[in-house]
Structure 1
Amino acid sequence: MNRQQALQQIIAFGEQRDTAVSALAKFGWDPSFEVISVDSQALILVLTKYLSGVIDADDLELWANFIECRDELEYSDIEGYIYALADPELMGGISLANIEKMLTVLC
């Protein structure tokens, strides 16, 4: 699995995300990385996984923190949502009601 494939698995909270995390750990810092966009569709996919019980609030928070900390990821279109998910205690928490509101605004 290359860097891009690993990042895509994590962005989509794909079935191979654990393998992807391990693969990313093997890659050193590469200043010539290709930027990958994380857009509202990716966010909607992950929020839907939370609402359907595929992932929990801790998974969602970790995912948002991952998005924030990777230089290869560009997420300016959804920055406010990522901030809220990465710092839930500052933003009212992650709950079914809050995530449903986010999805309503996004869709």
Structure 2
Amino acid sequence: MNTQKALAEFITFGERRDDAISVIVSTPANSQNIIYTLTTTVLIDVLERCLNNEIDLDDLELWANVIESRDDINCSEHDGVIYALSNSEQMGELSHKKLAQLVALVKI
């Protein structure tokens, strides 16, 4: 699995997510090139899956931390959401209520 496929699998919480994590961990995060762009559709899908208890809140926070830390992932359209998900110290503990509010804001 190459880095682009690994990032796509990780970001979409795909079936081969565990395999993707090992690829991501072994590749530098400071690539000069954007390999994956976080789309609104994918973001909403992941957030709604978390609201439906398919994805754990802790896994979602880790997911956002990885996205925020990698230069090869373009999340500029959703920087505020990723920041809110990955910085519970500043934004308060993540809950389903806050998550529902984020989904509503993203859908606007």
Q: By the TM > 0.5 criterion, same fold?
A: yes
Cα separation, partners in 2 of 1:32 and 1:84, compared to 1, 3 Å: closer
Structure 1: gaps (5+ residues): none
**How far off is 1:31 after superposition?**
4.5
Structure 2: gaps (5+ residues): none
Contact in 1 for aligned 2:64/2:83 (Cα 8 Å): yes
1:61 aligns with 2:64: no
For the aligned residue pairs, the C-alpha RMSD in angstroms reads 1.8
Task: Report the count of equivalent residues.
Answer: 107
TM-score by length of 2: 0.87
- Report the equivalent of 1:22: 22
- Report the equivalent of 2:105: 105
CA distance in 2, matches of 1:89, 1:29: 23
**How far off is 1:55 after superposition?**
1.3
SS in 2 for 1:49: helix
Q: For each residue in 1:28-82, what CA deviation from the matched residue of structure 2 results, as whole angstroms up to 9, or x when unmatched?
A: 5785644321122221111111101111111011000000111110111100000
- Report the equivalent of 2:79: 79
Q: For residue 48 of structure 1, what is the amino acid of its counterpart?
A: E
Seq. identity, %: 39
CA distance in 2, matches of 1:105, 1:46: 15
1:48 aligns with 2:22: no
